[in-house]
Structure formats: structure tokens, C-alpha cells
Chains A and B, each alone.
Chain A
Amino acid sequence: MTAPNFTIEELPSAEIPRKGVWYHFRTFCRRYPLGAIGAAITLVFVFCAIFAEFVTGMDPYTTNAATSLAAPGSSHMLGADVMGRDVFSRIVYGARISLMVGVGSTLVGCFFGVFIGLASGYLLGWFDLITQRIIDMMQALPLLVMALVMAASLGPSLENTIIAISIPLIPNVARIIRSNTLSLREMPFVESARASGFSEWRIAIRHVLPNTLAPLIVLATAQLGAAILTEASLSFLGLGIPEPHASWGRMLSESAAEYVRTAPWLVIFPGIAISLVVFGTNLLGDAVRDMLDPRQRKT
């Protein structure tokens, strides 16, 4: 994946003047106030996920009969679950799981999607025809149904959940990359690269691919939130990431059943965590889309 190396400055259409970081930051906040809020939420989320050990001192797996269903208070900030495990530390560690699911499934989905889309749009012919039909088929199944069958056949685990969620993403990515590739391969700069004798693969990777990144980034940001929600739905249906992993979806779907009234903190806090992060990444995704889409940029 080349996405992480990519910066806004490299985009031909971005045209952001080279000024200080602080200046860009202020401009971004002024232009996209909702996006800035989203970015802030996303940052907190990513920070918790990476530095979970430092954010909370408690182990999210240790059970304790004495603190079973303890209400939020001085010893447990957000209370404890039925097994006496600290809810705050489970939410913080849960951020890591959610980030792994979100980023993992997006990376896997984008990797295969880009590969298929690029090859399909570049090679055309039989390869294109066949892959397009396969993509049609994949899109003909609702995402959750697909994830459900995948999760059932692979068995519930973190890795398998990531794979199950990533598969429905492949056709979406492949579609976008393919159509972009189709238009790009006729562009003058590609023509000139070809004239200078570069190999087709080199052209595809060096010249065509970077120019398809904008829509990919938009899709990827949207996928982050969607993946977290899909995982929650899978958990609700009994698939998804198994205990004792601190998965938000599982925390919510399990506890919602029995404790919604007697221990509401078990339902409210993971629910807020999921909604807030998905909300944040969506806000950020919207802003990124507006920013990268030249047609929607305000003049």
C-alpha cells in the first residue's frame, strides 16, 4: 500500500499553498469546522488505541467477584462489568481492537481492490470482463450477508473478522480504481511517459496509481466507521470478535441484553464510544472528501 506515504502536497489538484503547519491547521478548522471536530475525535481514538497501556493502568481482562457490576465511582471511573472488569480500561483497549478492525479491513480491502481495479482498467480484455463479472457478483450480496457467511466459515476470531469485513470492500475499491484508471491511461502525461519508454507496469504504479488516491482516501475514511459498525452487528448476531477481547460491539451487544436498566453504564459507555468514533471518522471523512474533490471546493 502506498497510501500512508502520500501527502496532500503531492496531489496535482490539491494546490495548497506552502505555508506553516499552524496556518494549514487554522485554515482547515475555519473551512471545515465539523471536520476539525471529527479530526479531534479521531485523534483521541487513535491515541487511546496506540497508548492503551498508558491511558489506563488497569488490566481489562482481570475478573474480580468483589467488583462485579460496580457503579461508576472512584475505583472504577466508568464502573465495572459483570465479571468485575474495569469498563474504562475495556473501552480504551477496545479502541485498539476497533482500530485494528477498521484499519486492518480497510488496508486488506484496498490492497486487493486497488490491485484488481488497476489490473482490470489497465489490461482490459478478458481479464477485465471476468473480474467485472466477479465484482458484480460480490456486489449482488448485501455486505452483512457476505460478512456473515465469511465469519461463519472462517470461525470467530480477530483476524477472521477483519477478513470478513474487508471482502465486501474489494469490489467498491476495484470499481473506483478501474474507472479512474480508464480515464487516466489516456491522459497526456501518461502518454508522454509511455513515449519515454517506461514499462506499462511502471506507468501504472508510478503515474496512474497516485492519481487515483483521492477517491480512495475518501472511501477509506468512510470505511473506518463502517467497519466498526459492521463488527458490532456481527457481534450482536453472535459472530465477530470473541471474548475476552475487549470489543466495543461485543460489550454493547452482550450487556445491552441483561443490564440495560440495572447497570446502564455497561450499555451507555461502549455505545457512546462506538457512536462517537464512527461519528468522528465520518465528519473527518466528509471534510477530506470536500477537500480532495476539486469540484466541491469553495472558490
Chain B
Amino acid sequence: MTMLKAKTRLAMAAAMLAIPLGGALAMKDGGTLKIYHRGTPPSGSIHEEATNSTVSPYMGVFNNLVMFDQQVAQNSLESIVPDLATDWSWDESKTKLTFNLRSGVNWHDGKPFTAADVVCTWKQLLGDVPRKMKLRKNPRKSWYWNLKGVEASGDNQVSFALGQPQPAFLALLASGYSPVYPCHVDPKTMRTNPVGTGPFKFVELKQNEHVKFVKNENYWKPGKPHLDAIDWTIIRSRSTRVLAFIAGEFDMTYNTDVTVPLRKDVLQQKPDAICPLVPTNVSTNLIVNRDAPPFNDERIRRAMGLSLDRQAFVDIISEGNNFIGGAMLPPPGGVWGLPPEELATTQGYGDVAANREKARELMKQAGFGPDNRVKVTVSTRNIAIYRDPAVILIDHLKEIYIDAELKVIETSNWHATVAKKDYQVGLNLTGVGVDDPDVNFFENYACGSQRNYTGYCNKELQTLFEKQSSMADQEARKKLVWQIDQKLQEDVARPIIYHGNNATCWQPYVKGYVSMTNSVYNGWRLEDVWLDK
């Protein structure tokens, strides 16, 4: 805080650099991890929110049944490890998944954890609970389309009954979005004073100031966590918070808060900072209101999809670092995305000049042309990461006789606007919780899903969604997923412009943290993190 302290800290950092990094360093316990946060988390209840503003700080309060190994960068079915469940098994029909649970685990308030809590949590997600225990918001309802019921047998065993085989169901449970909630705490309390079984206990949230957590001394994993406490300081101004990280005020930046140009700046001023660029699995995409003229004409939607010069977006926004792909995050970060050779043959990708020629042709068929241009508004959220691509989009649309004007929507009103279909063309960002088609397809493209903003519904594809979900052979499943992805792009369901690539930065003395390469929602348990100082 004072000049003196800051100087000591700097001197310490300098001294540490001087020590040659030879031999294995012993893990050190203790210390407070200082991270900045980009804004006040909307609440402390992970199940009620769909933003990493909540998941990142609060994930450490909870445990899951299973989780993605926090030390493996790429989430996949192979990287799933036990958490509150000691082991699991599928029955013969592959529709019943049974977990054996750890015993002797207590909630932060001292009550014992049992199978009843697991049952309660997923009943909440299915909406099958009394009014008092009902979640106010249930954004991941669509994940559980295939879940028919949850049952406990005794205190230490629980089974999930599915409608059809779904090997990836386990991946849903491994997400940071799938913590186990205590049965004896109501949703209102979970929003303000969450109780979990995790390595860190919630202390307090002060709007606009900080969120604080302390070590759970009775954590059931021996020797963990290493940190005594985690302080998240809320700093709204991006320039201020990045400067503060550079000045050494924080040990770590917020979850993938550092954009490509900012990262360059950070590394220039603080060459020892560790800042791996990772795909965020957040895509920037177009949503088109297919009920509003002229976009009820399929030709115009198609033409719009063809007008995009994705490479130009990527070059401008990220100095060439973002990824071009379909609905699923492309490799190497993602598991399921279309590889470049498949992408090249997908409609709307490939040669931009030829595409635009085709687009103009379509526009002319629809009755528009150089002398009869279409006037539309492009709506987007009033934040730079939304606005910047929207400005480029408008520039690209000029090429195909569309004159668009930008309409920025106050950020907290964005989804209300989209839900009311109060837009023509929207520029949107979609974060995917788990890199698996079962999440992405059902959440964003399935008929009737509440987060399928455009209302796109293709019955044929819907059957394919369900088919790929049930496949046991993951390689064969991947081929089908590619087919579906290509069809989605062809249908201009929600044209994907690019997939983001950002960095989380930390000081060299922060150890044991791994930035995940295909999700920003699953890697924030922080129980393995320790400070080497």
C-alpha cells in the first residue's frame, strides 16, 4: 500500500529472480493470493449465473462430484478426475451413472455432506424442488435435457438416470459450473453467503470493492489448499487494473482479462510476468433476427454470412492471434472443432472475394443492389470487446449493399433486448462452459433452448445432436460433430466470426496454476496454487 511496502516487494521480486532456478523447489504454504476482478460478481451462486465473474472467484468454495484435472490444460473426457465422488460406473444400458461418495466431508458450516445434497442439487437444476428451494435463474437447464432423475442409495451412493446413453454427461459434471450445493441452505443464502465443501471459505463480498475467501482449515483433501486466503479486488477501469498488475500490486490478473495488445504491453514493462495466451472458448458471432424483414429472407442471411472477412477481424482485434473456426472451438486448443482442411470446404469460409461476389449475387436476387441498398442496425453490447468487431462488421457489410448503423445497448440490458427480439442484426459473444458438443449444441442451437437467441430450429439437426450425444466411439462422434458444425454454418444459424485468444498473467512466484486451453470456467479451484516467496 505505502511506497515503502511496494519497494520492499519489488526488491524481493528482484532477489528471487537472482536465485538460479535449480532443483525442485519445495512447496510453500501460506500467504494471500491477490487477484483483481473486472467487476462485482452478480452473485455468489454459481448455479444461477452464466458468467465467469461468478465462477472464477467462487469455484474454490465448492467441490464437484468429478472435475477436470486442474493441472491439465485441455479439458476432455480423459482429464476428468474424482472430487467428492471416489469412483463411478455406468450400468449395462449405459443410461445409469452411479457415483460412490467420499465420507467424512463437512460443509463449511459444520454439517456433514451426504448423497442427499447431490440429489438436492440436481433436483434444483431440474426444477423439481419446493418453491423455497427453487433457483431464481437456471441458465444451464438445457445441459440436462437427458437427465431423468437422481437417486440416493444410502448416504454414500448416488445415481443419475439418463434417457439415452450419453458418455459426455460426466464432462458436464466436471465443469466449474457444476458444484454440489448443500441441501440445508436456501438459494437466497447461496447468492449472498455461499456454503460449500471446497478449499476456501467465503468471507465477504463488498460491491465494487472486493470478494474475500480464507483457507478452509478442515478441507478434506490432505495438505490443501496452500494459500491462507484469496483476495479479489474489484477494479472496473481496465487501464487502471493492468497498470496495477504491472506495478506489482497483484499476484495475478483476472481470468483471461489480458488482450493481445495489452499482453504485449505487460510483457514489455514486466518481462518476468507469465502470460500464456490461451483460447477462451468464447466465440464472437452474429445473431440475426430471422423474424424481422429483410432478414426473414434466407438469401439475405446467407449473403451476410458470406460477406465476412474473418482474417481481417482476427488481424485487427488480436494481431492475428484469434482463431477462425466453426461452432466448436478449433484445434489445437479445442477438441471438437473443424480442422483447417474441413473449414476450407465449409460454406462462408475460404476465398473472401469469391464469397462476396456470391453474396452480391444473392442480394440482387433478393431485390437489392448498388442503387437500392438495405438499411439496418447492428446492435451490440456497450463494451469494447463487442463494439470493436461490430464496427468492423459494419464496414464489411458495406461491400454487399448493406448500410448498417451501430446501436449500442447498455451492457446490463443486452439480454433483455435480445430476448425481446428488439434487434435486426446483433453482434454477440458466446462462452462455452465445457468444450463438448453436448453443451454447445444443446445450449445455443437446440430448438427451444432459452439461450438459443435467434430461435434457430432445425428438426433434422436436432436428431443429429441427440445421435452424436449417444455415441460411444468418440472418434466417430467427432466426424458427426464436424458434419453438424458445417451444416450450422451453412444454415447461417449463428455465424461464428472468431474464437478469442486471451491471456491470464501472473507473477513468477505464483506456482501451481494452469491456464486451461478450452474453457475459462473450469480452472479456478486454486487449491494447488502456492506462492514461492
State the A residues within 8 Å of B (CB). 61-63, 65-66, 68-69, 82-84, 152, 155-156, 238, 242-244, 254, 256-262
Contact = CB atoms under 8 A, between A and B. Distances in A.
Dominant secondary structure at the A interface: loop
B192 interface: no
Given A156-B382, A257-B239, A243 B391 contact: yes
Contacts of A259: 261, 265
Interface stretch (B3-11, B56-64, B406-414): B406-414
A68 B316 contact: yes
Interface of B: 237-239, 259, 261-262, 264-265, 268-269, 311-312, 315-317, 319, 382-384, 387-388, 390-392, 394-395, 406-408, 410-411
A163 to B, nearest CB: 17
Contact of A238 (B382, B391, B394): B382
B408 A156 contact: yes
Nearest to B405: A244
Tell me which of A63, A84, A256, A261 has the highest count of chain B C-beta atoms within 10 A of its own C-beta.
A63
Nearest to B239: A257
6 contacts: A68-B315, A82-B317, A83-B388, A242-B407, A243-B390, A244-B391
4 tightest A-B CB contacts, nearest first: A65-B315, A257-B239, A242-B408, A65-B312
Contacts of A83: 316, 388, 391-392
Contacts of A66: 315
Contacts of B238: 257-258
Contacts of B317: 82
B261 A258 contact: yes
Contacts of A63: 312, 316, 391-392, 395
Given A156-B408, A242-B382, A258-B262, A65 B311 contact: yes
Contacts of A68: 315-316, 319
Main DSSP-derived SS at the B contact region? helix
Nearest to A84: B316
Given A83-B388, A256-B239, A257-B239, A262 B316 contact: no
Contacts of A257: 237-239, 384
B400 to A, nearest CB: 16
Given A65-B316, A256-B239, A155 B387 contact: no
Contacts of B315: 65-66, 68
B391 A258 contact: no
A254 B384 contact: yes
A163 B312 CA distance: 37
B528 to A, nearest CB: 32
Given A83-B391, A238-B382, A258 B265 contact: yes
Which has the most chain B C-beta neighbours within 10 Å: A66, A69, A258?
A258
A66 B315 CA distance: 8
B395 A82 contact: no
A258 B443 CA distance: 33
Contacts of B406: 242-244
B275 to A, nearest CB: 15
Nearest to B404: A244
A84 B408 CA distance: 21
Nearest to B314: A65
Nearest to B413: A155
A68 B392 CA distance: 12
A282 to B, nearest CB: 27
A82 B316 contact: yes
A262 B311 contact: no
A280 B238 CA distance: 31
A34 B262 CA distance: 41
Contacts of A155: 410
A66 B406 CA distance: 23
B15 to A, nearest CB: 27
Given A155-B410, A243-B390, A258-B262, 9 more contacts: A63-B312, A65-B311, A69-B261, A83-B316, A238-B411, A242-B408, A243-B391, A257-B239, A259-B261
A61 B398 CA distance: 11
Contacts of B237: 257
A63 to B, nearest CB: 5
B395 A261 contact: no
A242 B392 CA distance: 14
B408 A262 contact: no
Contacts of B407: 242
Contact of A62 (B383, B395, B411): B395
A262 B390 CA distance: 23
Interface centre among A62, A69, A256, A257 (most CB of B within 10 A): A257
Contacts of A254: 384
A178 to B, nearest CB: 36
Given A83-B392, A244-B394, A156 B410 contact: yes
Contacts of A244: 391, 394, 406
Contacts of B265: 258-259, 261-262
Contact of B264 (A61, A238, A262): A262
A232 B88 CA distance: 58
Contacts of A84: 316
A294 to B, nearest CB: 47
A61 B261 contact: no
Contact of A261 (B269, B390, B394): B269
Contacts of B411: 238
Nearest to B259: A258
B382 A61 contact: no
A260 B384 contact: no
A61 B411 CA distance: 23
Contacts of A243: 387-388, 390-391, 406, 408
A261 B269 CA distance: 10
A293 to B, nearest CB: 41
B237 to A, nearest CB: 7
A78 B387 CA distance: 23
A82 B408 contact: no
Nearest to B246: A261
A79 B395 CA distance: 20
Contacts of A242: 382, 387, 406-408
A259 to B, nearest CB: 7
Most buried by A among B315, B316, B390: B316
Nearest to B395: A63
A262 B410 contact: no
Contacts of B410: 152, 155-156
Nearest to A66: B315
B382 A261 contact: no
B244 to A, nearest CB: 13
A244 to B, nearest CB: 5
Nearest to A236: B237
A298 to B, nearest CB: 47
B319 to A, nearest CB: 7
A134 to B, nearest CB: 28
Contacts of A82: 261, 316-317, 388
Contacts of B261: 69, 82, 258-259, 262
Contacts of A262: 261, 264-265, 268
Nearest to B240: A257
